[in-house]
Chain A
Amino acid sequence: MKTLQRAGLALAAPVLALVVAGIITSLVLVAAGDDPAAFWETMLAWPENRSLVNIINEASVLYLSGLAAAIGFRMNLFNIGVEGQYRVATFVAAYFAAQAFLPGYLNTVATILVAMLAGAAWAGIAALLRVTRGVSEVISTIMLNAIAVSLVAYLLRKVGSREGQTIVTDTVPQSGWIPGISLFPDSVTDMYGLVFLAVLAGIGFSVLLNRTRFGFDLRATGHSESAAVASGVDVKRMVIYSMLLSGAVAGLIGMPNLFGVSHNYGSTIQTGIGFAGIAVALLGRNHPLGIAAGALIFAYLSEQANPLGILAGISPEIIAVTQGVVVLCVVIAYEVVRRYRNKLEQRAVAEALEAPGPSKEVTA
């Protein structure tokens, strides 16, 4: 009964948030003179097979991005710089892979490691500034995002070659490609072969946080820094480690696409994944399964919104409003539920204390 109530409360927040976000989106549509009914018809239609594959691919990438953000969030460290870390890492990885220092899949594995290192290094700048100079990681990572965009553009121009409208790095040798997995015979797109990378990262995240000393220290620091310090946690070291780890995971974001589809880094690289990852992490409450749900919801919304312009005459931009409102509503709803739960617990404690009898134990 108790656990049922808890689970109900935990689910109430996101469901409530989705409903409110839906209502607000509809209101915005009405205000702009669009037809909400047509919007919902398009959004809630069962996705085609091609779209389903896209949703899975997009979600796996968002999931990695969300994990990267969540590692920092769990200890109140706001790595807003996932976007920059992802770009730097993907570029470095694409360049490294194209050099083909190693044969076949060894090259792939090495490249993934290089990507993690590059992402960690870029995040490390913010970590160093934070622990040595006291610069807030929020500001520094935002600045590093902007710097990353220009830096990568510059380097790309140095080492890349022109291909039509875009500049691209050399192609990764074919022996290292990870072929897609065909889910439906009629779908033109395949599922990323490296989807399992996201799953692995999720499991790793869960184990690290819940089964290791490091994870305990990380969560302890997030809950109460002073308590963590009192129990011997070196907070500065934790800041550096978790920032590096966050950057390393951010480095993975570009891998499924690099080895599965694009095989090079081009100036048309998908942008905004880093920011979406932050939203996804918030939506999933920094919990590995929650983030997965958040990533799926975000990917679903984005994919389903694509035909809005053609089918309903509504600008697909509306979906950014929905996504943002969902995030804000979810964090508010979690807060409301937390307060309600506290109140319930207080009441339970009060009742238990008032109740006469020998058993004064409280299981709150």
Chain B
Amino acid sequence: MTVSAPESSAALVKPTAARSYRIWIYLAVLVIALSTTRIFTGADDITSSGTLRAAVIAAIPIALAGLGGLWSERAGVVNIGLEGMMILGTLGAGYFTYHYGVWVGLLGAAVFGAVGGALHALATVTFGVDHIVSGVAINIIALGVASFLAEALFTGLPGGGPTQSPSLDRPPTISVPGLSGWTESLEDKGWFLVSDLAALLNVVVSQLSLFTLVALVLIFGTGWLLWRTPFGLRLRSCGESPSAAETLGVNVYRYKFVAVTMSGALAGMGGAFLALVASSGYQNGQTGGRGYIGLAAMIFGNWRPTGLLTGSLIFGYTDAARLRSGGESVHALLLVLSVALLAIAVWQLIRGARLAAVLAAVVGGLGLTWYLRTDTIPGDFTQMTPYVMTLLVLALASQQLRMPAADGQRYRRGEAG
């Protein structure tokens, strides 16, 4: 890696602003495309407030896991153990919520996740173990600990069993009184664009879980903390060039340790969201690989909070679409995706990237053929949608991404050249 000294934080501000501005354009295009598709195919559920709300609920755990990944990787430690820390979080949320209520449950999930994070930090930072290796080991341990302790903690409780906790309280939700009913009636009209936007607004003003708010505060708070404070600059310098940070007097070990532990806490909170908001209690195998998808969302988001939130929403949306009238919705999305891929193919051809153009055209063409020859998509295929999306998105976006320069590299104090 010959990336020169880390760009200063001032230099990084501009692209951030430009990027978030672009995100709004993308979002507008997306809403128009989905609305058009809804009118054209009659797949009403692709922009219903039900689907969108489910999308947010599916996206937040992914985003929190991704945010955990962001903390860790910005400090230079690859954290594939997010999945395991998330599993620990679901267990913590289940146990503490049952006994002490949802807020202690959230805290307990964070603490359980943080224990996993601290273990990862101990292995990678203190002992210099390969980051992927340690992450894989932590995932194995977490899975075992959770299923073992779940049996010990939940068996015999009313409604609980060896693989699941009793049914738990939901975190409180808030609704804005007037707006919520108004947007609902507007949505029911089925007008082009207006109803879709109303549905979007409805998600924000109606039955919004307080946990979602907490998550958003954490995401934007992280953006502020890591990019606008001395602490954040030091933390990121550990991920860009630890030896340079060391020469400036930064205690690299401590920063990495804090970042990775925090990473675990955030992933744990993602687990709490899964157990308490997305379902009504702890279950074995509840995370279903969302920690990994969070990692993918973070990569897609170019190691930035707003980017990873966007990525999570895309994954959350595909996940929600498959759950709500899946065959029909995903079938309609297939059309959107195919057309988008063909558009990308044309664009890449203009740019002169022939290989990417051909790749996009082939996949897009196949998708379009599939769309035209079928009326619905079998359940097994809707199930793989989020994963296929992840692969596609990474395949198309990975060229423009820049990870922290020293990400995943072993660092020993005093070995700076």
Contacts and interface: CB of A to CB of B under 8 A. Distances in A.
A328 B136 CA distance: 9
Interface stretch (A59-67, A138-146, A231-239): A138-146
B208 interface: no
B296 A336 contact: no
A135 B296 CA distance: 10
Interface in B129-148: 129-130, 132-134, 136-145, 147-148
A157 B141 contact: no
A325 B289 CA distance: 21
Nearest to B412: A339
Contacts of A80: 136
A32 B384 contact: no
Contact of A140 (B139, B381, B391): B391
Q: Which of B119, B138, B144, B292 has the most CB of A within 10 A?
A: B144
Interface size class of A (residues with CB under 8 A): 35 or more
Interface string B148-176: 11011000000000100000000000000
Contacts of B132: 78, 138
B388 interface: yes
Given A150-B383, A151-B380, A328 B141 contact: yes
Contact of B289 (A34, A134, A146, A278): A146
Contact of B399 (A134, A136, A157, A319): A134
A326 B399 CA distance: 38
A318 interface: yes
A146 B384 contact: yes
Interface string B310-332: 00000000000000000000000
A151 B382 CA distance: 10
A319 B141 CA distance: 10
Contact of A282 (B133, B141, B381): B133
B260 to A, nearest CB: 15
Contact of A138 (B80, B137, B149): B80
Nearest to B133: A331
A327 B147 contact: no
B221 interface: no
B394 interface: yes
B295 interface: yes
Given A133-B394, A143-B296, A282-B133, A323 B148 contact: no
Nearest to A276: B140
B145 A331 contact: no
A41 interface: no
Interface string A118-160: 0000000000010011111011101110110011011001000
Given A142-B289, A146-B384, A146-B387, A331 B129 contact: yes
A154 B380 contact: yes
A320 B148 contact: yes
B395 A133 contact: yes
A142 B289 CA distance: 8
Contacts of B390: 139, 143
B42 interface: no
A135 B387 CA distance: 14
A52 interface: no
Interface string B281-321: 00000000100100110010000000000000000000000
Interface residues of B, number: 47
A275 B84 CA distance: 13
A29 to B, nearest CB: 9
B137 to A, nearest CB: 4
B13 to A, nearest CB: 26
Contacts of A318: 144, 148
**Residues of B contacting A: mostly:** helix
B224 interface: no
Contacts of A143: 292, 296, 387-388, 390-391
A317 B151 contact: yes
Interface string B373-416: 00000101101100110110011101100000000000000000
Contacts of A142: 289, 292
A139 B141 contact: no
B104 interface: no
Contacts of B142: 324
Interface string A17-53: 0000000000010001110000000000000000000
A206 interface: no
B144 A150 contact: no
B127 interface: yes
Contacts of B292: 139, 142-143
Contact of A335 (B80, B128, B152, B395): B128
B391 A320 contact: no
A75 interface: no
Nearest to A156: B380
A28 B123 contact: no
A34 B143 CA distance: 19
A262 interface: no
A138 B132 CA distance: 9
Nearest to A283: B137
A334 to B, nearest CB: 8
B355 interface: yes
B137 A331 contact: yes
Contacts of A135: 391, 394-395, 398
A88 interface: no
26 contacts: A78-B132, A132-B359, A133-B395, A133-B396, A135-B398, A138-B80, A138-B132, A139-B296, A143-B292, A143-B388, A143-B391, A150-B383, A150-B384, A279-B140, A315-B148, A315-B162, A320-B147, A324-B138, A328-B134, A328-B138, A331-B123, A331-B134, A335-B128, A335-B129, A336-B127, A339-B128
The 10 A-B residue pairs whose C-beta atoms are closest, nearest first, are: A320-B144, A324-B141, A324-B140, A154-B380, A328-B137, A321-B144, A150-B384, A317-B148, A32-B152, A146-B387
Interface of A: 28, 32-34, 78, 80, 129, 132-136, 138-140, 142-144, 146-147, 150-151, 153-154, 157, 275, 278-279, 282, 315, 317-325, 327-328, 331-332, 335-336, 339
Given A34-B152, A324-B145, A328-B141, 10 more contacts: A129-B394, A133-B394, A134-B398, A154-B381, A279-B140, A317-B144, A327-B137, A327-B140, A332-B127, A335-B127
